[in-house]
Amino acid sequence: MKRLLLVVFTALLFGNVSVFAKQKIDHLEPAFWWVGMKNPNLQLLVHGENIAELEAEINYPGVSIEKVNRVENPNYLFVDLKLSTELTAGSFDILFKKGKKTVVKYNYELKERRKGAAERKSFTPKDVMYLITPDRFANGNTDNDHVEGLSEGLNREDKSGRHGGDIQGMIDHVDYIADMGFTAIWVNPLLENNQTTSYHGYATTDYYKIDERFGSNEEYLNLSKLAQEKGVGIIMDVILNHCGSEHWWMKDLPSKDWINFGGEFVRTSHKRTTVQDQYASKEDLKDFTDGWFVKSMPDLNQRNPFMATYLIQNAIWWVEYANLYGIRVDTFPYSDADFLSEWDVRLLAEYPNLNIVGEEWSTNPNIVSYWQKGKQNMDGYDSNLPSLMDFPMQQTLVEALTQEDTWGTGLIRLYELLVNDVLYPDPNNLVIFPDNHDMARIFDQLDRDYDLYKMAMTYVLTMRGIPQIYYGTEILAKSDAGSDHGLLRTDFPGGWEGDQVNAFTGEGLSEQEKDAQDFCKTILNWRKKKEVIHSGKLMHYAPDNGVYSFFRYSDTEKVMVILNKNTELVQLDAKRYYEMLGNHTVAKDIISDKIVQLNLGIEVPARSAIILEIK
């Protein structure tokens, strides 16, 4: 009887793993895969005590073991599989044997792909992303506020603690996001972060598991499904550069070169220019790419081929599993450059239309443009990365709106910035934004000047590129924090039971906050239908006396955008814009819904932005 109970207990504990001796499988990743992928190769990471003593065996039509790789740690095997193009979906046992005796058995599944999975659509300039820090957005399920075995539970009093936001909170408010006019959600990382002060999600401790305080893999899949039904795609935040110090493999590394600097903490120099600087020393380059952000985030060595394959397959797994709309890559240039190129190539081979945006936090367009796919760099390097975050534009926008207008400051900075678009192979595929999760809110950056805020939002939502708006920016969220990230990522009002202010319904918002929300909603929903904003050309006119104007235009549509920083109404002579306006005499102001007679002059109210549809 006791033996029977032991067998039952073991089966429950290990799920699809059967154990016949002391040896067992602690981890096998990826836990399942799909038939019909373009790349026929699949590498399984297998971890268990002295697992390297065993041989792997598979008997399933269309699946063959090409090689079993052993590393210096006997607790690992890396099993290379070849999957036939005629392979059918199903499950089979992987036998781990010692001689003729089966020691461990793992039931592996190959799933059917969704119809059209390879040709999936992805984010483009038609979209506007809504960036969410999930812990701070909405607490939809209070049952997961405290999870046994995870290091931190709910503590809203701690600015750097867990506040309880989760996937269910996002599911509950998908309608709000869609009604506002957003068409994509970029969610800060949701994978398990089982260590302290890691509510932000950037210290992964399990690459194949959603953190239980956010929900489950199944809930993430449900979010993706429900959002898509509302016309909203999910963009996953991926971290290739580092993991969390409490990741399970940190207690039993496969090899000494799995983590950079031999697993010893050496802080990165953050000298991002070293990657492309022809004069940089090798020591400086190594200090940048191999150095760690902080001690709690070990730096991954993607030059190790098993690590590289692991990270590539993990990204493909999540795109396929969660039916993702795109990927955002954290700290992109900090990883090994050759690996990054291969990572992009492999993902785009499986998903040719997939858009991937990388974070290169530099305000120098020369540095940012180096990483975009198709760039003719002097060193011959091509990262194959389709998109980048346009940090130069974000900084310049704030300077342009807050500086006095002179021959070299103020709005002229925005005008002159755009000449740098010649550096980018595809400037229309850059992601532009007024603020994000790592900086002060745009309302604070603009000294809480509401007029300047509206100019900034108008510019971002009508300029070339793909706009991204951080949650709460639409209701004038404030930082109150300087550089304190815990306070930058403020709780969204209405996301917690008992909140006296509810931004989802408007209850308790100030008149100015309501006006900001309506202002953004009007432009966002107008923008959704304006092909001329998505793919139209751009022509701008040099700023003159505190006024900056630009046009988005195509063969069938024209839109004029005007920013007026003056403290008085300005009347513009339409003759200056004859190249764009021609004989057009009528326009519609999309904010006020008023008709404008262009031949009578274009009135722009003091300290305002207007968007005119040319009729």
User: Does the pLDDT value for residue 233 go beyond 60?
Assistant: yes
Question: pLDDT at position 481, please?
Answer: 61
DSSP 65-123: EEEEEE-SSTTEEEEEEEE-TT---EEEEEEEEETTEEEEEEEEEEEPPPTTSTT----
The CA distance from 178 to 548, in Å, is 31
What band does 18 get if pLDDT is binned at 50, 70 and 90? low
Question: pLDDT at position 487, please?
Answer: 79
Average pLDDT on 7-34 reads: 68
Question: pLDDT at position 615, please?
Answer: 87
For the stretch 125-155, pLDDT in tens is 999 999 999 999 999 999 999 999 999 999 9
Domains and CATH numbers, the chain: 2-111 (2.60.40.10), 534-614 (2.60.40.1180)
For the stretch 466-506, pLDDT in tens is 999 999 999 999 987 666 777 789 999 999 999 999 999 99
Average pLDDT score, the chain: 95
What band does 11 get if pLDDT is binned at 50, 70 and 90? very low
Average pLDDT on 303-325 reads: 98
548: which 2 tokens? Answer: 């900056």
Question: pLDDT at position 485, please?
Answer: 77
Average pLDDT on 166-190 reads: 98
User: Does the pLDDT value for residue 513 go beyond 80?
Assistant: yes
Cross-sheet strand order for the sheet of 63-70: 27-29, 41-47, 76-83, 63-70
Average pLDDT on 22-42 reads: 95
Residues designated as active site: 330, 359
Q: Which residues contact 461 (CB under 8 A, 6 or more apart)?
A: 128, 467, 520, 523, 524, 527, 533
